[in-house]
Amino acid sequence: MKTKIYLMTIFVMINMIIVSCQNNNDRKPEEHEILAENAVELSSEQYVNAGIELGKIDQSQVSTILKVNGTINVTPQDLASVSAPLGGFVKSTNLVQGSAVVKGQTLATIENFTFIEIQQNFLETRAKYQYAETEFKRHTELYKDQVYSEKNVQQTETEYKTLKAQLKGLEQKLIALGIDPADLTEEKITALLPVEAPISGYLKSVNINIGKYINPSDVLFEIVNPANVILELVVFEKDVQKVSNGQKVIFSSPNEPGKSWSAIIYQAGRALDNDKTTMVYANIDKSDDHLLSGMYVNGEIQISNKNAFVLPQDAIVQFNGKFYIFTYKGKRIENGKLMHDFIAVEVQKGSTDGGFIEIILPENFDSKTGQVVIKGAYSLLSAWKNAGEMAC
């Protein structure tokens, strides 16, 4: 009897356990929204801490950029190499590299006794020419009165014209030496001649010293006028056809971080050098003292303009080699808390222009509706990467 009661007790207990398990299985779990693979959620507190700012995708003119390197230079008319036409010994100079000079200023004096011979020959030839001119006019008048023969007039004319040619040649030599023929007299003959600056600017190089003998081919000074600096850019063969006159260039110097200048291309090269490059020249819009001849620069040539979708740079993030933006899907209540939902959308990056980046959207994306995260996208990327680390 006791055994029977014991067995009945065990049977009742088993039934109670089965019913209890069935009741537990019938209970519904606490509801929680299952997020899509490309979805991110933030609580209101996380939303504020992330500094989220929303905006819309705009359309704007974007330039296609060609990155190039180059230097600051001057035009040929703003760079002068100064020599002494006949050479000689340097008698005096007081200038050093970097000195400012003006056009016509004496840079140095050169001593050469050949100068004396040229001046002497000029004065003698001028005196003979003046006499020959008088004789030619007198003989011409006498010939008209039939006093002199035609032969005598021709001889006088030949001598007159020969001396005139010699005088003109000597005048040009004096001018090349920096001497005004009209001011030269017997009292002004000298072995010292000035070397004058042909342009205003600064001395880029000084290659002489007192007592040094210089040849006519030696460059004594180099003068550069920095007021008209230009931009010289190197373009490779594959990009030559993309460059044309009138295109804008934005350039900067490693020596001036954070500062940039603009220029307009006025001559695009069409002949390639041995290294398969060509030179492109641009006029600088607003030059200043920071731009020195010979300075290395990095440039961006704006190849073309097009209408494109753009977003600020902070709105685009990179993850696993792809680029994404985040769209705002709205807010909802979950377990009594306010939640904000976002969707990561893969995009393609285009050109960068003035802090904005061109984006190529998916075909089914409607840019006219919805809002996009323009600030705080990196916080969303962190939450997305950590798969709910920031989620409730």
The residue extents of the domains of the chain are 39-61+307-385, 65-76+226-306, 79-224
Q: Are 176 and 98 in contact (CB under 8 A)?
A: no
Q: What is the DSSP letter of 29?
A: P
- What is the sign, positive or negative, of the torsion defined by CA atoms of 161, 167, 169, 171? negative
For domain 39-61+307-385, the CATH class is mainly beta
Amino acid at 325: I
C-alpha 381: how far from its chain's center?
36
Query: Rounded to the nearest 5°, which phi and psi values hold at 247?
Result: -75, 150
For domain 79-224, the CATH class is mainly beta
Low-confidence ranges of the chain (pLDDT < 70): 1-35, 145-148, 353-354, 369, 387-392
Q: Are 181 and 122 in contact (CB under 8 A)?
A: yes
- The stretches of the chain forming alpha helices (DSSP H) are 2-26, 44-49, 114-144, 150-176, 377-385
Q: What is the DSSP letter of 271?
A: S
Q: Are 297 and 71 in contact (CB under 8 A)?
A: yes
Q: Which two tokens stand for residue 383?
A: 């939450």
Q: Are 91 and 192 in contact (CB under 8 A)?
A: yes
Residues in the chain: 392
* Residue 268 DSSP SS3: strand
Measured distance CA(267)–CA(277) in Å, rounded: 15
Measured distance CA(174)–CA(183) in Å, rounded: 11
Q: What is the 3-state secondary structure (H, E, C) of 334-370?
A: ECCEEEEEEEEEEEEEEEEECCEEEEECCCCCCCCCC
For the domain bounded by 65-76+226-306, which CATH number is listed?
A: 2.40.30.170
Q: How many CB atoms lie within 10 A of CB 16?
A: 10
pLDDT at res. 270: 77
Q: Are 65 and 351 in contact (CB under 8 A)?
A: yes
Pairing of strands 296-312, 248-252: antiparallel
The candidate with the shortest Cα–Cα distance to 349, out of 313, 302, 300, 305, is 313
pLDDT at res. 298: 92
Environment class of 82 (CB within 10 Å of its CB; exposed 0-12, middle 13-18, buried 19+): buried
Q: Which residues contact 36 (CB under 8 A, 6 or more apart)?
A: 343
SS3 content of the chain, % helix, strand, coil (to 5): 30, 40, 30
pLDDT at res. 35: 64
pLDDT in tens, 240-256: 888 889 999 999 988 88
pLDDT at res. 389: 45
The answer to whether the pTM exceeds 0.75 is no
Measured distance CA(161)–CA(18) in Å, rounded: 140
Q: Which residues contact 119 (CB under 8 A, 6 or more apart)?
A: 174, 179, 184, 188, 189, 190
pLDDT at res. 96: 92
C-alpha 34: how far from its chain's center?
53
Gap between the terminal Cα atoms of the chain = 60
